[in-house]
Chains A and B, each alone.
Chain A
Amino acid sequence: MAEILGAFFRDYQSINSYVPIFIFTLVAFGFAGVTLVVALLVRPHRPDPAKLSPYECGIPPLMEAHERFSIRFYLLGILFLLFDVEAVFLFPWAVRYDYLGLFGFIEMMLFIAILLVGYFYAWRKEALEWA
């Protein structure tokens, strides 16, 4: 088992370029974690009902903050996801643009043009409007 996995990852050169990303992630999570933990250790902890209420010196809350989301978010979410997928297709094209040349350019323009039809349809149908 271990040998298979070892062979799996052996001699992979470009993985080294991911080391800064890994360190960056560690620092980011570490910063948040250390801040929270240190704050937890140093701060005084004397709660009372007024302090624990959402608005200590405001009007009392009328209902729960957890409310059902409007169905309109569904449309925005779906459209975001679809354009997200479209954007993913742009990355391999962009890194090999020099290799693909004009052919690849026209191809990608066609791809984007087809999706622009959907975009204008969404616009026309006022799917991007809130009201």
Chain B
Amino acid sequence: MELAFFYLFAAGIVGASLLMVTRANVIHAALLLVLAFLFMAGLFVLAGAEFLAGVQILIYAGGIMVLYLFSIMLMNVGVAVRLRQWHRQSVLALAAAVLLGAEVWAVLGRGGYPGAKAWGWGLGQTPGNVEALGEVLYTKFLFPFEVASILLLAAMIGAIVLAKREITR
């Protein structure tokens, strides 16, 4: 049953991604990327990574896509990109895709990702991913967690300083 869902989501990702890279309109491509992200979230849920699924939807499909769409609209690529869809990178891209696929196949064929066995619990028996993360993140990884807030603060101030100078000039 889970396998059927896996194939469903995997087919969704592949289909949405194929549609995405073949669209002439970049806005459509961006929206198809959202669809691919949603299917990916479904895949994360199947793998027991609920938190990752939530992050996928909140941050990627929500936050990152806002920036993507914004940069598309800022550059006004609508006309320019529509003219020339096929550039000469296709051979290189195909080679990279085949290489990556072979790599993934080799790792999976050897019995899964070796790092997966290093975790305290096996895959498929995770006791509620979000709860487990909450227990570890706010006790054992307290310091990195607080440092993350400093990092966010730095990003915020940096963005304001850069963009404000741009606007007032």
Q: Do A and B come from one complex?
A: yes
Residue of B nearest to A21 (CB): B45
Chain B: minimal CB distance from A85 (Å): 6
- A60 located at the interface, meaning its Cβ lies under 8 Å from any Cβ of chain B in the complex: no
> Cβ of A9 and Cβ of B159 under 8 Å apart?
no
Q: Which of B45, B124, B167 contacts A7 (CB 8 A)?
A: B124
The residue on A at minimum CB distance from B139 is: A100
B11 within 8 A of A: no
**Is chain A's interface secondary structure helix, strand, loop, or mixed overall?**
helix
Q: How far is the CB of A34 from chain B (nearest CB, A)?
A: 18
Question: Does A4 lie within 8 Å of B108, measured CB to CB?
Answer: yes
Are B124's CB and A8's CB within 8 A?
Answer: yes
Of all chain A residues, the one with the shortest Cβ separation from B158 is A78
- State the interface size on chain A (CB cutoff 8 A): 59
Contacts of A69 in B (CB 8 A): 70, 73-74
Q: Which of A112-129 contact B (CB under 8 A)?
A: 112, 114-115, 117-119, 121-122, 125, 127
Cβ–Cβ contact B123 & A92, under 8 A? no
28 CB-based A-B contacts, threshold 8 Å: A10-B2, A12-B2, A12-B125, A14-B128, A15-B48, A66-B73, A68-B75, A71-B74, A73-B74, A74-B74, A77-B66, A77-B67, A81-B59, A84-B58, A91-B130, A92-B130, A92-B138, A95-B128, A96-B131, A100-B135, A114-B146, A114-B153, A115-B149, A115-B153, A121-B157, A122-B156, A122-B160, A125-B164
